[in-house]
Structure 1
């Protein structure tokens, strides 16, 4: 079917007016370079930025940069004049929208000098990032830059030919001393601006102490909280978009209708009028980011690990299970919400109910295996903080501990039905080796994984109450399976 349709590009815009905002968009110059061009950015910040330009003008076109050596998205968007479709859904149906804010796409490993030159363009006032937790080269054990990371080792020796995200930022900032851009982290990471600032400063100081001092005093790193569930693109996504629009889009983006962006308002060189697109500009992002990381992401990870083991392929299928729904509702209400310090107008239980409704969206098909990736990085901010606080206060947190036990079982790479799978994690080789070495012995599995200092703080892993509860859950998961563990949870 798609081969008979015209390809999405600028020539098709006149016939796609019903899928565009009514206001015309001028041809904006590039004012933002975004590192980590993926589905989330295209369904989130790119739309906010387009709507801000439609409402208030400004040259805030985006140059999207893929940080991995994967040119497929660049190739797909180049053939479409960098246009693409966002397919949003809720329980009532689907809506399509063509997005025009991305003006250029680069692949960093193949276009290194062009990426740095674009970042050094004085018209660029913001460099934003969605590179996931592992893109920061952050060492959880030291709370700073991982100086042993091979990209960091390379970049300190060859600062003009960077491979790492900190390396790219510093390479460009070295040339932007008169008007440094603002560095805006949009990753799903607690204190994201603070962490990014720390790793950049440590890298720059190791390279040139004077440069580090200048960045510390002159470059701003506002924090953000971002929220929108954005699954991977599938052939079904492409077919739905084609049926709705009458054109073929090689790389549309599926996403839920809900979206949220909370931004620390700290942009010396200016910013798009994101508030006119619905973003919240605040003095302190932390209460919002912690609520999202624990309430949404913590329960997402819980559904992911238990869901993969139990055979639930998507979040909507998982939350439709009465026992899973009861567990997630309990965790949000009794374990997570009490740990949050939020503004007076933030209703924790209303947020819980909103999340449960979002999870049940039958049109998203957000795969549990996708959410289960990079668990070594996600577990500490999403679940272990809740466990640490609750146990220290002598309070129960059985749901979060069951989730951690499910993650340990997940590393054995076999569902309860015996189906094999592979895991995606920066520590995959080490973690799976530890899991395999346990040879099915739950006590050995727990001891080995609790000993991974990059994930489990020593004070937490040493707690006998934690060990007892994880051990009990591992026995239940291994003997009875995830569905029975869910049924027995009280």
Structure 2
């Protein structure tokens, strides 16, 4: 804490319901998770609906990680969402006090209170964001206080709900996991059903679960972070109160939920005035669009940006050559391959608009989106996000995509570890002012590439070509033989050889010329 901050804090009142009176609404939502994504997207949107008189419901939050909830109770469960960024060329600055959370319960010490909530007739919705592995099935008793895994906690809660309402159809619930897992709703349902069977909860409960509890696949898209200490102080000075739960986010936000008319009726916080919340029986268009355009571009550009010595996505967009590469790659090679439904909102225009929104997001100077964080499990991401895009490009244009080939070559160079320490692999980048920058290669395939790169001899194009063919033909990596795509292996090898012999900056300038 800086001296300026120590001096500034005593002059401010803490954000509470005394300093900022707000309406009290009935508890309609149970939320598992206290993280910034939930605070900055679902809870923020529910707050917006409350302020417009559309939902008039509050959220009870369950915290599973520890029993400390004072960061919320000290502020009467209020917090600020600070939106900063650029949207369609316009600077966006917005502060919203979120009062939608009524209380936060610690699962470890207040599990009985959580189960009591199951009997609340006004409860309608359950939202979660645990972790990617948080939806995994764990064989355990749901009668522990509390159960250990999230699916077991949810099963215990639903069983208590079933017992209290006598299997009533009218008291069923809508469950919306927001974890970044494909078909998250289906996966969570499967885990709950297995736990019901393991715990012998009976056929009537299984029937109620099947017909009256709706598990929805969902997609969340918004970058939400905690502010830096400097930004926190500036925002508190601007707002005039102290907020230890201050949440920092970009303007763009989307919450796509797979659901039918019953789901739409229950989620009354969504409607024509909230186009950021999409409820549809099929949300695959939104999943595919995000996976290919946003995530796929990140994966194909991150290695190149990092090899240039850049640190964040915003740094990439400030670099003249790199920003040009990002834009050309996204708009000219990725966007044309994204499948569309040829209906308004799910057509080529919607894909193109999303791409321009993503470019605005990449340029946001207020978000420190570190390239090295994006590099985690780069190989698996390359397969999941870009192999289908590459194949679709060939189907449409029957030629090697110039920029994808260059991005793939940069990825291979980024994966070149030069040393291993205790099972951790490290690459290195020569710095312009002299010296070497070492970076971790955090990828399950780091050892694979560490071995294969040893076959490459400096200045020997033939060994580069053989290395590239070996990697691209490995179907265990790509679920496809990428050497079968005419000219792609040759283009990647040529680009990789240029990166090795001419350097990253010079090679990039040539490819975007």
Q: TM-score, normalised by structure 1?
A: 0.78
Relative distance call for 1:388 and 1:271 in structure 2 (3 A) is: same
Given the alignment, which residue of 58, 62, 77 partners 1:61? 58
> 2: CA distance between counterparts of 1:438 and 1:222?
43
Counterpart for residue 120 of structure 1? 118
CA contact (8 A) 1:37 1:64 kept: yes
Residue 420 in structure 1 maps to residue 438 in structure 2: yes
Relative distance call for 1:457 and 1:381 in structure 2 (3 A) is: closer
1:386-423 CA distances to partner (integer Å, 9 max, x unpaired)?
23433566454454455455455545443523323446
Relative distance call for 1:53 and 1:335 in structure 2 (3 A) is: same
> 2: CA distance between counterparts of 1:415 and 1:118?
56
Instruction: Give 1:57 shift.
Output: 5.1
Counterpart for residue 174 of structure 1? 159
Given the alignment, which residue of 343, 349, 353 partners 1:350? 353
Given the alignment, which residue of 481, 486, 490 partners 2:508? 486
Relative distance call for 1:246 and 1:326 in structure 2 (3 A) is: same
What SS does structure 1 have at the residue aligned with 2:157? Answer: helix
What SS does structure 2 have at the residue aligned with 1:220? Answer: strand
> 2: CA distance between counterparts of 1:7 and 1:280?
38
| Unaligned ranges ≥5, structure 2 | 418-425, 431-435, 457-465
Counterpart for residue 422 of structure 2? none
Given the alignment, which residue of 57, 62, 79 partners 1:84? 79
> 2: CA distance between counterparts of 1:231 and 1:176?
34
Relative distance call for 1:479 and 1:106 in structure 2 (3 A) is: farther
Q: TM-score, normalised by structure 2?
A: 0.75
CA contact (8 A) 2:177 2:184 kept: yes
> 2: CA distance between counterparts of 1:221 and 1:331?
37
Residue 365 in structure 1 maps to residue 368 in structure 2: yes
> 2: CA distance between counterparts of 1:422 and 1:302?
18
Q: How many residues end up aligned between the 2 structures? A: 456
> 1: CA distance between counterparts of 2:209 and 2:161?
10
Name the stretch that deviates more: 440-449 or 118-127: 440-449
Relative distance call for 1:484 and 1:222 in structure 2 (3 A) is: farther
Counterpart for residue 330 of structure 2? 332
Relative distance call for 1:458 and 1:224 in structure 2 (3 A) is: closer
Relative distance call for 1:84 and 1:476 in structure 2 (3 A) is: farther
Counterpart for residue 340 of structure 2? 341
CA contact (8 A) 1:190 1:286 kept: no
| Unaligned ranges ≥5, structure 1 | 15-23, 138-151
Counterpart for residue 9 of structure 1? 15
Relative distance call for 1:377 and 1:433 in structure 2 (3 A) is: closer
1:436-461 CA distances to partner (integer Å, 9 max, x unpaired)?
455655677996898695xx453356
Residue 52 in structure 1 maps to residue 74 in structure 2: no
What SS does structure 2 have at the residue aligned with 1:156? Answer: coil
CA contact (8 A) 1:303 1:368 kept: no
CA contact (8 A) 1:438 1:445 kept: no
Given the alignment, which residue of 146, 149, 155 partners 1:164? 149
1:192-241 CA distances to partner (integer Å, 9 max, x unpaired)?
43444455545655665956665444321223333323244321331221
Relative distance call for 1:242 and 1:174 in structure 2 (3 A) is: same
CA contact (8 A) 2:314 2:369 kept: yes
TM alignment of 1:384-395, pairs within 5 A: 384-391=387-394, 394-395=398-399
Relative distance call for 1:101 and 1:370 in structure 2 (3 A) is: farther
Counterpart for residue 421 of structure 2? none
Higher relative contact order (CA 8 A, sep 6+): 1
Relative distance call for 1:77 and 1:171 in structure 2 (3 A) is: same
Relative distance call for 1:370 and 1:233 in structure 2 (3 A) is: farther
Counterpart for residue 295 of structure 1? 293
TM alignment of 1:254-265, pairs within 5 A: 254-265=248-259
Q: Whose strand proportion is higher, 1 or 2? A: 2
Larger radius of gyration: 2
Relative distance call for 1:228 and 1:305 in structure 2 (3 A) is: same
> 1: CA distance between counterparts of 2:302 and 2:33?
24
Instruction: Give 1:318 shift.
Output: 0.5
Given the alignment, which residue of 151, 176, 180 partners 1:184? 176
Counterpart for residue 311 of structure 1? 309
What SS does structure 2 have at the residue aligned with 1:87? Answer: strand
CA contact (8 A) 1:56 1:273 kept: no
